[in-house]
Every structure is written in structure tokens, then in C-alpha cells.
Amino acid sequence: MIDLHGFGDQLLQGAVVTLELALASLFVGLILGLLGASAKLSSIAVIRWIANGYTTIIRGIPELLTVLIIYFGATSVLMAIAGLFGYDEYIEVGAFAAGVTALGLTFGAYATEVFRGALQSIPKGQHEAATALGMGPIRKFYRIILPQVWRIALPGLGNLFLVLLKDTALVSVVGLDDIMRKANIAVSSTKQAFLFYLVAAFMYLALTIISMVFVSYMEKRASRGLNRG
């Protein structure tokens, strides 16, 4: 057994934080992705432009830069807004909140494209049938469109989640106590850099494998109505 110099518990705590960050960002990103895809398919030009601007910018700049911009920028933006309401105290944006915002925005931009493809692949007849049954737009989306979109989008979203999981490491740069930062702390006190970064790498690999198993379970579940011999 490898000697972790008593930092094993710390690293496990880091893994919990990494997972929390990934799941929270996933949740934000899925909502942004659905909104973005709907916006891209909107009949109103301005909404389409906004969605296109969002995906182009986020996909064109490095994730690390997004994390840094949100972390340093959110404070000044929030303080400017609070200032309008006469609140002058210093507002601190935590690493976790900044991380969820930055990674959620990133996931959302890529998920927008995945959802757009899926939404466009739903046959028009499905919309017409739902309308013919007297469903309103919300019920139609929730009961007919979304379950089918979900099935088609899942493989793409699964890939994006694996990317997201690895991007969480970037938030350690602004001080989140995730796997990466716990490893940094262990390294600075033990000088065993290779050992701890390798352990960190294998922890990410383990999370990746678990995610892959879970995604394939979800894919099976989502397409259980289809008879695939």
C-alpha cells in the first residue's frame, strides 16, 4: 500500500468537493443548454443572436480564463449592481460559486449545440400529434419532446460531463479545496510531488470510470422503450 503521509482523508474530502462542483455545474449547464438551444431555434432574430454570441464566446476562450474572469469579475459586477441599490459593503464571491458559474456557462454553451441537434431531430409529426391531442406548449415539451430529446442528447452530454469533470481541476487555481488543491497542499508539506499528483490523476480516472458506467446505465434506461435486438 502506498504511503500517503496521512493526507488520504484530505484527498477524499477533495474528491467530495470535486464531485459537488461537477454536479452543481452540470445542473446549471443543463438548464442553460436547454434555454440556449430553444433560443437558437427561436423565430425572433435578437434571441438567436444572443444565443450565438454566448456559444461563440464561451467556446472560443480558454476555460481557465472563464474561471478567472468570473472569479475576479463577479465581485465587481455584483458590487456595481449592489451599489445601484445603495449597498456599499464589500461582496466576496467564493471559489465554489465562481466555479459553478464558470463551468456551468461552459457546459451550457456546448450542451446548447447537443440539445439543438436533438431538438431538430424530433419529427414534426410529433409536435402535430401532441397539438392534435390538445396539449399546450408546456405539456407538449415536458411529456413528448423532452423525453425524446433526452435520449438523443445523452451520449453527447455524457462526453461533455467527462470534460466538465476534468475542468473542475481549474477551479483549484482560484482556491477551491478540490482534489487538485488538496494534492498541492500535500505536496508543499511532503515534497512528494510525483506521488501525490499521480494519486490525484488516478482519483480523476476513478471518477471518470464511475461516470461512464452511470451514463451508459442512463442511456439504457432512456431508450428502454425501443426494441434494440
Partner 1 sequence: MDFSVVVEYFPRLLEGAWVSLQLVIVSIVLGGVFALPIALARISPIAWIRAVPFAYIFFFRGTPLLVQIFLVYYGASQFDVVREGFLWPILREPFWCAIIAFTLNTSAYTAEIFRGAIQAIPEGEVEACKVIGMTKFQMYRRVLLPRAFGIVLPAYGNEIILMLKGSALASTITILDLTGMARTIIARTYTPMEIFLAAGAIYLVISIVIIAIFRQIELRQNRYLGTLSIKVPDKG
Q: In the complex, which residues of this chain contact partner 1 (CB under 8 A)?
A: 56-57, 60-65, 68-69, 72-73, 76, 162, 166-170, 172-173, 180, 183-184, 187, 191-195, 197-198, 200-201, 204-205, 208-209
| Smallest distance, partner 1 to C-beta of residue 13, A | 18
| Smallest distance, partner 1 to C-beta of residue 64, A | 4
**CA 181 – CA 184 distance, rounded (Å):** 5
**CA 63 – CA 173 distance, rounded (Å):** 12
| Smallest distance, partner 1 to C-beta of residue 46, A | 21
- Contact by Cβ (8 Å): 170, 63: yes
**CA 26 – CA 173 distance, rounded (Å):** 20
| Smallest distance, partner 1 to C-beta of residue 19, A | 14
Closest residue by Cα to residue 22 from 220, 202, 210, 150? 210
- Contact by Cβ (8 Å): 161, 211: yes
Whichever of 44 and 84 has its CB closer to partner 1, that residue is 84
Whichever of 157 and 170 has its CB closer to partner 1, that residue is 170
Whichever of 34 and 180 has its CB closer to partner 1, that residue is 180
| Smallest distance, partner 1 to C-beta of residue 123, A | 25
Whichever of 148 and 211 has its CB closer to partner 1, that residue is 211
What are the grid coordinates assigned to 1, written together?
A: 500500500
| Smallest distance, partner 1 to C-beta of residue 116, A | 17
**CA 61 – CA 181 distance, rounded (Å):** 24
Whichever of 34 and 106 has its CB closer to partner 1, that residue is 106
What are the grid coordinates assigned to 24, written together?
A: 452543481
| Smallest distance, partner 1 to C-beta of residue 86, A | 21
Coil, helix or strand for 75? helix
What type of residue is 60? G
Q: Count the helix, strand and coil residues of the chain and give each as a percent rounded to the nearest 5.
A: 80, 0, 20
Q: What is the DSSP letter of 173?
A: G
Whichever of 74 and 154 has its CB closer to partner 1, that residue is 74
Whichever of 31 and 198 has its CB closer to partner 1, that residue is 198
